[in-house]
Each structure stands twice: as structure tokens, then as C-alpha cells.
């Protein structure tokens, strides 16, 4: 670090980063990780995410087209300093143009890293094409290895499809393959050690996510949530965990070495161990709204601007303005916390 930087105030830092055209906020955080929701629909109905009947899906004319998504990704990479793109949903594998979108965004320069978060249904068929198109990594959500529990949790009997998808993704070289797990009390809370053993045996990296108040059915209950501490206690009943010496940076997961390493396990304690101070994310919803936080209550409408003829520079300016006002934290533990009107499946998890 130079002597100028060490004496820089927060205001000076913010001004310097703004002058560089980056997605900086008032607190000096810079967003470089863009999460793009490709579709709000899903073929599972995980109880912590969606009600059994689904949700009122976005009408087709409100969804961004493939070309619009690629254009906004290009603006983010070329003008706003974004260097990582993660495609999510809803279920992103339901988007027909997915392979072509990946193909186009991996041609951007500087080349962004690309990742996909998926429930794995259908991944078996498309994993090789995604890898050929340039996709770097994949996270597959898997909450249980037990068929009946899977059916109860997702309201669909599709565990075998998810397992096929995971295997195909690993075979296609989409590594390191990460598994995302949400534990629920009285449902799969006892499965943490078995899931970790399963992942270690196959070379996958497991990350547990605390259940958050962002579901379409509004079923979240603070007292029912399995906390990061409980997850760690359960893992420690079967494994020796030690803090990972690697620098965490803006990663949401705190990681531990398992039995001395090199294998790791991660815990994303979004509720009890928030990491908002280091957040580097910006989000684009499937209908073209910028959100500066998963829990934001305001959005900035890029779709209307884009369809109204805005130039790349105008869109970039709107995006910067939307990020500048980001709040310091999600405030889930504040008495005044309000769950966002949009559920996670419509924002992009």
C-alpha cells in the first residue's frame, strides 16, 4: 500500500473509486460480482423457498431477452469493473438460451469468471455443453441424500436426477464443484455429517447456508432456523474442524479445514454471522431490475431504460447510482426488518 492510500479518508476512497467508474457505495464497498437471475420459474418447490402452488410467474414480455442479458453483462464487465458473473434463478437450466448466453459472455474482455447455481435437474444432459461454452464452475443445491426427505423438502421425487446432474457436471470438468445445503429443523438437521462425508468422498466442496427470511411462502421463523453454530457443532461430532488460514475476502462462506485439510467445509451464516461489510455483489433480476442487496426494498429499472433507448453509458450511470445507495447491512436482526416483497426465486439466490 502506498503512503497516499494509508492516509486516504473513506470519502476520498469513495471519490477515487467513483472516478474510476466502479460500482462503489457510500461505505467504500465495490461490487465486482454480478448475480443474474435468468428466470423466476422453477421445477422444484423447496419448502424454504416457494409455496407448493408456485408463485405468480413473470410474464414473458417482462423477462429480459438473451440479447438484453448479454448487453447488460457486457456493460457490467466493460464499464463497471465486474469480473465475476453467476447465473441463477428460479432454475437457470429452464432458460432455453442458457448455453448461448454463457458462450457470449465468456467472449467478453476482460473475461469474467462464470458460475451457475442450479438445483441440478437436467444438468446431466447439458453439463458438457455448458463446459464447452466456457462455464467455469457450478454450485448444485442438495439438502438431503434420502429420497423420501428429498421429496418432502422439494415436493418432487427427483433426487436421482440431481445426483446424475452432479456426476455429469464433475465429469465435464466444472470444478471445484460446490454443493449448497440448507438445513431445516425436524427435516434434515441431522444430515450434516453424512452430507459432508458424501462430498469429501467425491471431492466436492460443501457449504451450508442458514435459512433466510426471503421465501415466497413467508414460512421463515427465527426460532426454527438452524444456526451456523448448530451446524458446526453437528459437524464437530464427526470431524475435526480447524479455521481455514486462507484469506476469506468477500466470500460469504466461512470455511474450515476438515481433519487437518486440504478438504474444506463452508458455512454461510447470513443471519447470525452477516458479512455485509465485505459484500461485493450486485444483482440483476430476470425482469431487468438492479438490486444492490438480496434484502433491498428498492430496485432500479434497467429494463425500461434499455427498452426506452438508453445508451450503454446511460445504463452504466443508472447502475452506479443504484449501487451507491446500498445500505450498510441487511438488518434481519433489527425489529424494523421487513422481508422484501420479492422472494429469492425472483431475485436470484
User: Where along the sequence are the contacts to ligand SF4 (CB under 6 A)?
Assistant: 42, 44-46, 49-50, 89-91, 119, 141, 345
40: contact with ligand SAM by CB under 6 A: no
Stretch that binds ligand SAM, among 209-217, 244-252, 256-264, 315-323 (CB under 6 A): 209-217
266: contact with ligand SAM by CB under 6 A: no
Q: Which is nearer to ligand SAM, 79 or 178 (CB)?
A: 178
- Whole-number Cα distances in Å, 320 to 28, 120, 207, 297: 13, 33, 31, 17
Mask for 280-299, x = binds ligand SAM (CB under 6 A): --------------------
209: contact with ligand SAM by CB under 6 A: yes
- Which of 127, 182, 226, 315 is the binder for ligand SAM (CB under 6 A)? 182
**Helical axes 159-171 vs 123-133, angle rounded to 10°:** 30
Stretch that binds ligand SAM, among 86-94, 276-284, 301-309, 314-322 (CB under 6 A): 86-94
From the list ligand SF4, ligand SAM, none, partner contacted by residue 50 (C-beta under 5 to 8 A by kind): ligand SF4
For the CB of residue 226, give the shortest distance to ligand SF4 in the complex, in Å.
16
124: contact with ligand SAM by CB under 6 A: no
- Which of 153, 174, 212, 323 is the binder for ligand SAM (CB under 6 A)? 212
- Which of 104, 114, 141, 188 is the binder for ligand SAM (CB under 6 A)? 141
Q: Which is nearer to ligand SAM, 114 or 306 (CB)?
A: 114
70: contact with ligand SAM by CB under 6 A: no
25: contact with ligand SAM by CB under 6 A: no
235: contact with ligand SAM by CB under 6 A: no
153: contact with ligand SAM by CB under 6 A: no
Binding site for ligand SAM (CB under 6 A): 42, 48-49, 88-89, 91, 117-119, 141, 180, 182, 209, 211-212, 214-215, 344-345, 349
Amino acid at each position: 500500500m502506498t503512503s497516499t492510500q494509508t492516509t486516504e479518508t473513506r470519502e476520498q476512497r469513495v471519490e477515487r473509486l467513483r472516478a474510476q467508474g466502479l460500482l462503489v457505495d457510500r461505505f467504500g464497498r465495490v461490487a465486482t460480482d454480478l448475480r443474474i437471475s435468468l428466470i423466476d420459474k422453477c421445477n422444484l418447490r423447496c419448502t424454504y423457498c416457494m409455496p407448493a402452488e408456485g408463485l405468480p410467474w413473470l410474464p414473458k414480455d417482462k423477462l429480459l431477452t438473451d440479447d438484453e442479458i448479454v448487453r447488460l453483462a457486457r456493460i457490467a464487465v466493460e464499464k463497471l469493473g465486474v469480473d465475476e458473473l453467476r447465473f441463477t434463478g428460479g432454475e437457470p437450466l429452464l432458460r432455453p438460451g442458457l448455453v448461448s448466453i454463457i458462450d457470449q459472455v465468456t467472449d467478453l474482455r476482460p473475461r469474467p469468471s462464470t458460475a451457475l447455481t442450479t438445483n441440478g435437474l437436467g444438468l446431466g444432459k447439458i453439463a458438457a455443453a455448458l463446459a464447452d461454452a466456457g462455464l467455469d464452475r457450478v454450485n448444485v443445491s442438495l439438502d438431503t441424500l434420502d429420497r423420501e426427505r428429498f421429496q418432502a423438502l422439494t415436493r418432487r421425487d427427483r433426487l436421482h436426477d440431481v445426483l446424475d446432474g452432479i456426476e455429469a457436471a464433475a465429469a465435464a470438468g466444472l470444478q471445484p464443484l460446490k454443493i449448497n445445503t440448507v438445513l431445516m429443523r425436524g427435516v434434515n438437521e441431522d444430515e450434516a455429517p453424512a452430507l459432508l462425508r458424501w462430498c469429501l468422498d467425491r471431492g466436492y466442496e460443501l457449504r451450508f447456508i442458514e435459512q433466510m427470511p426471503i421465501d415466497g411462502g413467508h414460512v421463515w421463523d427465527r426460532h426454527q432456523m438452524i444456526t451456523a453454530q448448530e451446524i458446526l457443532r453437528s459437524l464437530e461430532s464427526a470431524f475435526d474442524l480447524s479455521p481455514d488460514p486462507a484469506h476469506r475476502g468477500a466470500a460469504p462462506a466461512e470455511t474450515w479445514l476438515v481433519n487437518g485439510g486440504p478438504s474444506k467445509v463452508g458455512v454461510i451464516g447470513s443471519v447470525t454471522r452477516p458479512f455485509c461489510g465485505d459484500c461485493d455483489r450486485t444483482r440483476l433480476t430476470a425482469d431487468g431490475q438492479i438490486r444492490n442487496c438480496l434484502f433491498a426494498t428498492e430496485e432500479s429499472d434497467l429494463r425500461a431504460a434499455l427498452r426506452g433507448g438508453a445508451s450503454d453509458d446511460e445504463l452504466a450511470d443508472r447502475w452506479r447510482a443504484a449501487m451507491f445507495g446500498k445500505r450498510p447491512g441487511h438488518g434481519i436482526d433489527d425489529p424494523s426488518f421487513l422481508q422484501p416483497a420479492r422472494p429469492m426465486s425472483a431475485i436470484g439466490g
